[in-house]
A and B are shown apart, each in its own frame.
Chain A
């Protein structure tokens, strides 16, 4: 590991990353850190609930180790946070999180997934990737997706901070990705209770936890433009009881409603010279 330490943590400590500054940085730099979104007590409570959710996930028969994603079992992944605990249903719609999401993706968006990755000592990196490059065709001209990453512990290089390639959110095709990006990558470092926001075109990888006894717990809220298929089929994953508990905005953001992919470009209507007013389906 030859990644350089970034200035993120220092900036966070100096309190320069206000939400407005965060929005600007997210748009321009492809990422930002907003510190102190959760209090110390709320962060500790969320971490407790996360470990309880991991146990509940195992009890339900859903393994928290994914050989397809991680080279060893030191990464603990929890996939069904939204169904297991209302605390996570609150976090995914936290006003600060949604503020950042709307500022990048617009007023209409979908909650695509919400998962946890606890990097225990000995956990290793995944391959370097961008979330959009994995599934979306190029050219990657716009951010169609983003992560709101919740730091439930301090996150730093040594305990497995996510590493990102600065400026790579401007890559529009694969040829722009350096052959060996790792030496150029920087860690997203942030104190516990922070949000780290990262847009979908940023090339990144999970870090390696090289500490002797320190866990690094992150929650990954993944949001996309509304025309994309969510990573998780919430219609089926969420239990009937959970679905019945959701209010209309949550049902909308999770794609549980009949309203679906008919978002239409305004210029289509302009093409008619504005003669007639089209009728919206919904």
Chain B
């Protein structure tokens, strides 16, 4: 099956999870507005831009392999889970987990939670589907999903994620000659979430504004057979796992069932510190 010649429109914002799930089945994604608002949204936004400023000031930025090497404007902030508890609230937000349970099942793993901030003159990314690490042919079900948290208004001009609605039904990655297929900008107000399953084609948009940055936090979940992008056992702030909820322990791989075992059982969250800490005497 070839990619569609004309691009579908985005579905309107979903009223509830049930309608959102119907949109995901049909379009590969759904939008819900107003999930974060008021002081909560401002708090999350402040936490992210503070982390981004720290990384930039200290030269800790790490580019992503699907971004372009020349792009000095776009910024990734990795492992935000270790940066501020507000991102833990996002990763296990009841609405987010309702989608996770329905789209990929439970238990699921949190593969990564990171931010993508486009800046003026940057941000464009290679068109891709998030489960491209799984060799084709793909099975009939999505193997993962993203919950994108919009901390600024996403507009066509400021580099809103661009998406090919319905492309999940092709059940394959874009081919080399499909890099320029028609996409639509994922425009939605700050505080919205966009839930998209792992087969839908998308890319970061190009930010053609003079002075706007726009930030999205992307929480990536997978079925539990896949290796997490982030090695939480190495990188997670111990405070997060020490005070983690039962759901968060599942998402981090601390509630193993058949895979990720320690002596046949789940890892204990307060177990041995990594050798790097022991060696440095901390």
Contacts and interface: CB of A to CB of B under 8 A. Distances in A.
A, B from the same assembly: yes
A273 interface: yes
Contacts, number: 164
Given A237-B263, A279-B65, A256 B135 contact: no
Interface stretch (A28-36, A138-146, A188-196): A138-146
For the complex, would chain B's binding face be called helix, strand, loop or mixed by DSSP majority? loop
B135 A142 contact: yes
Interface stretch (A46-54, A120-128, A161-169, A227-235): A227-235
A233 B255 CA distance: 11
B278 A240 contact: yes
A268 B128 contact: yes
B274 interface: yes
Contacts of B139: 137-139
Contacts of A233: 233, 253, 256, 260-262, 267
B126 A110 contact: no
Interface in B25-80: 62-70
Interface string B250-282: 000100101111111001100111110011000
Interface string B161-194: 0000000000001111111000000000000000
Most chain B CB neighbours (cut-off 10 Å) among A80, A110, A262: A262
A278 interface: yes
B225 interface: yes
Task: Classify the interface of chain A: helix, strand, loop or mixed.
Answer: loop
Interface in B220-274: 223-231, 233-235, 253, 256, 258-264, 267-268, 271-274
Contacts of A262: 64-65, 133, 229
B94 interface: no
Given A137-B143, A278-B69, A227 B274 contact: no
Given A240-B272, A271-B174, A230 B126 contact: no
Contacts of A227: 133-134, 226-227
Contact of B231 (A258, A265, A276): A258
B225 A240 contact: no
B141 interface: yes
A257 B69 contact: no
B212 to A, nearest CB: 23
A255 interface: yes
A135 B234 contact: no
B-side interface size class: 35 or more
A139 B134 CA distance: 12
B230 to A, nearest CB: 6
Nearest to B256: A233
B217 interface: no
Interface string A81-120: 0000000000000000000000000000010000000000
Contact of B261 (A141, A232, A269): A232
Given A265-B132, A270-B176, A278-B68, A231 B260 contact: yes
B195 to A, nearest CB: 21
Nearest to A241: B275
Nearest to A144: B135
A232 B262 contact: yes
A271 B262 contact: no
Contacts of B133: 227, 261-265
B109 interface: yes
Contact of A276 (B69, B109, B235): B69
Contacts of B173: 265, 267-268
Contacts of B90: none
Contacts of A66: 264
B261 A264 contact: no
B122 interface: no
Contacts of B224: 229
A277 interface: yes
Given A231-B260, A240-B274, A244-B275, A276 B68 contact: yes
B275 A136 contact: no
Contacts of B231: 235, 255-258, 260
A231 B261 contact: yes
Interface of A: 62, 66, 79-80, 110, 134-139, 141-142, 144, 225-233, 235-237, 239-241, 243-244, 255-258, 260-265, 267-273, 276-281
9 contacts: A62-B264, A137-B141, A227-B134, A231-B259, A233-B262, A244-B278, A261-B111, A261-B226, A264-B133
Given A136-B225, A270-B176, 16 more contacts: A62-B263, A66-B264, A137-B143, A139-B139, A228-B227, A233-B267, A236-B271, A240-B275, A244-B278, A262-B65, A262-B229, A264-B65, A268-B174, A271-B126, A271-B174, A279-B63
**Shortest 3 CB-CB distances between A and B: which pairs?**
A271-B179, A235-B233, A137-B139
